[in-house]
Structure 1
Amino acid sequence: MSRGGGLRAAGEAVRLWFAPARLREEGTTPDYRFSLANERTFLAWLRTGLALIGGGFAVDQFLPRLHGTLRVSFTVVLLVGGGLCALRAVNHWVRCERAMRRGEDLPISRFPSALALAVGLFAAAVVVLVLLGRTN
């Protein structure tokens, strides 16, 4: 696929974020239970994004003894992660809805694994800081 073709496809996917009714123009209507399950998954990703954003605010507000640069780094990583989860949620929703309408396999993604790894590493870092007494 050419670079221009990839950019056009990405642009079309983003346009569908704001005009999901256009999905009805593709393929056939899937069983409504699958569409509702796709929507619940979307909402779960949004909740994950909100939790990360809340964690970012918590680090900033409730860990004042944490070194300034480290605190800001943790805060920014959590806030950006929350934003990425929200963007990923709508992108995944559109991709799954489109695949179901076309009768294709559902899209796969490395994002859940990357997110789980990042959260695990973040948790380990916070545990170390707690054990060192740097979070009071």
Structure 2
Amino acid sequence: MTLPNPDAESADGEEEIDYRFTLANERTFLAWMRTSLGLLAGGVAVHTLVQPFRMSGFRRAIALSCLVLAMVVAVGAYAHWRKVDAAMRRGGSLPDTVLVPILCAGITAVSLLACVAVLLR
């Protein structure tokens, strides 16, 4: 088995990058996708399994918040994966991600909704 030459160029003229970096980028993408799938499963579970709260709409709001956040994370993960791949190929700096603050704010919002719903139950 021969390892790829990190200094080689691909057929389209882009610099071939070390496969370890592309695999690391892919692992990060897959971690974001697992997070998205967890949010999707959580949203479906809340909608399907949780009994309605005394104040109507809380169950639906929690479920929809999880589902929307899952979509945002999935799309953002793909966009970030593409940007990182492009930056590595051109030898530039790696871009920052907005997924971390979005996920943090989203999970905080879902948690607050769930806390209020449980306290008012």
Cα distance per residue 1:78-98 (max 9 Å; x no partner): 111111111111111111111
**1:49 corresponds to:** 36
List runs of 5+ in structure 1 lacking aligned partners. Answer: 1-22
**2:7 corresponds to:** none
Q: Does 2:52 align with 1:65?
A: yes
What secondary structure, in the 3-state scheme, does the structure 1 residue paired with 2:68 have?
Answer: helix
Larger-Rg structure: 2
Q: Does 2:84 align with 1:96?
A: yes
- What is the one-letter code of the residue matched to 2:63? T
Q: TM-score, normalised to structure 2's length?
A: 0.80
Q: Distance in 1 between matches of 2:47 and 2:103?
A: 21
**1:122 corresponds to:** 110
Aligned residues: 111
Distance 1:26 1:89, change over 3 A: farther
Q: Distance in 1 between matches of 2:11 and 2:22?
A: 12
Aligned-CA RMSD value: 2.0
Identity of aligned residues (%): 37
Distance 1:73 1:106, change over 3 A: same
Displacement of 1:102 in angstroms is 0.3
Q: TM-score, normalised to structure 1's length?
A: 0.72
- What is the one-letter code of the residue matched to 1:78? C
Give the structure, 1 or 2, with the largest relative contact order (CA under 8 Å, sep 6 or more): 1
Task: Point out the structure with the larger helix share.
Answer: 1
